[in-house]
Amino acid sequence: MAMAGVIAYGAAAVVTVADVLGRRIGLPIEGVVDLVQLFVVTGAWLAMPYAFMSAAHVSVDFLLALMPDSLAVALRLLAAALTLGLLALMLWQGFLTFQTRTMFGDKSQQLGIPVAWYWYPLLVGLAASMLGVLLELHQALKRTPDHE
């Protein structure tokens, strides 16, 4: 999934560069903006679960390191619960928004790509991110807390 995400980013780069070069010789890529958006949205949401899984999210663990282990574990559980709750709400409401927008038949501005294509990666990414949070929590609780 991570690899697919980076390939999608790569596709965005390739399309853009092809357009930059192509327009010099009169062969621009039609709807390059629509395509780049599609690739970046896809890449971002495929990447998202990995960021949760590897705990890449920016946080300040300075105070955490000073706390007794039991409290630190409790805070970790709170963080995971809050993250899961937020992701679940986003997935639920995101799905409703997705339904509304596909019902309207929304399309990308230039090429008319159905908006659903931009939403599938989002829905998959949010669901997989919840799994990622659980996996990371499992790993973190298994590790012994590390103080210097």
Partner 1 sequence: MSDAILGLLGFCAALVLIGLGLPVAVSMGAIGALGYWYLNGWMGAAYILGSSPFESIFPYSFSVIPLFVMMGVFASHAGLSRSLFNVINAYIGHRKGGLAITTVGASAVFGAICGSSLATVATIGRVALPEMKRHGYDPSLATATVAAGGTLGVLIPPSVLLVIYGLLTQSSIGQLFIGALVPGLLGAALYAGAIMVRVRLNPGIAPRSERTGWRDRLRLTGQVWPVMVLFFVVIGGIYLGWFSPTEAAAVGALGAFVLALFSGELNRATLRASVFETTGLTGMIFFILIGAALFNFFLENTGLPQFLIEQIRNSGLGPTSVMVLILIFYIVLGCFMDAMSMILLTVPLLAPVALELDFSLVWFGIIVVTVAEIGLITPPIGMNLFVVQAAARDVKQGTVIRGIVPFILADILRLTLLVAFPALVLWLPAQAF
Partner 2 sequence: KIKLKVSHYLPAVHGIHTDFIVPWTEQVTACTDGEVEFEIFPAGSQLGNVARQQEQVMAGVVDIAHGLHGIPRGRFPRTSLIDMPFLTDDAGAASYALWSLYPEYLSEEYRGLKVLALHAHNGGLLHTANKKVETIEDMDGLRIRTPSPAVSEMLSFLGADPQGLPPGEVYESLQRGVIDGTVFPWDPVKSFGLNEVLNYHLDLGAYTVSFFYVMNQRSYDRLSDTAQACIDKYSGADLVAKFGDWWDQWDAPARQEAVDAGHEIITLSDAQRARWEETLQPMMASYLQSVEDAGVDNAEDIYKAMQDKIREYEAAH
Judged by the rule CB under 8 A, the positions of this chain that interact with partner 1 are 2-3, 5-6, 9-10, 12-17, 19-20, 33, 36-37, 40-41, 43-52, 54, 56-64, 72, 75-76, 78-79, 82-83, 85-86, 89-90, 92-97, 118-119, 122, 126
Q: Does 139 bind partner 2 (CB under 8 A)?
A: no
d(CA 110, CA 107): 8
Which of the listed partners (partner 1, partner 2, none) does 5 bind, with a CB threshold of 5 to 8 Å by partner kind?
A: partner 1
SS3 109: coil
Select from 11, 28, 64, 72 the one that contacts partner 2 (CB under 8 A): 28
Q: Does 34 bind partner 2 (CB under 8 A)?
A: yes
d(CA 23, CA 32): 11
Which of the listed partners (partner 2, partner 1, none) does 103 bind, with a CB threshold of 5 to 8 Å by partner kind?
A: none
Alpha helices in 23-114 (DSSP H): 32-53, 62-66, 69-103
Q: Phi-psi bin for 112: left (phi > 0), alpha (psi -120 to 50), beta? A: left
User: Which residues 6+ apart lie within 8 Å of 116 measured at CB?
Assistant: 98, 102
Maximum alpha-carbon separation in the chain: 66
What letter does residue 107 receive in the DSSP assignment? B
Among positions 71-130, residues that touch partner 2 (CB under 8 A) are 100-101, 104-107, 109-110, 112, 115
User: Which residues contact partner 2 by CB under 8 A?
Assistant: 23, 26, 28, 30-31, 33-34, 100-101, 104-107, 109-110, 112, 115
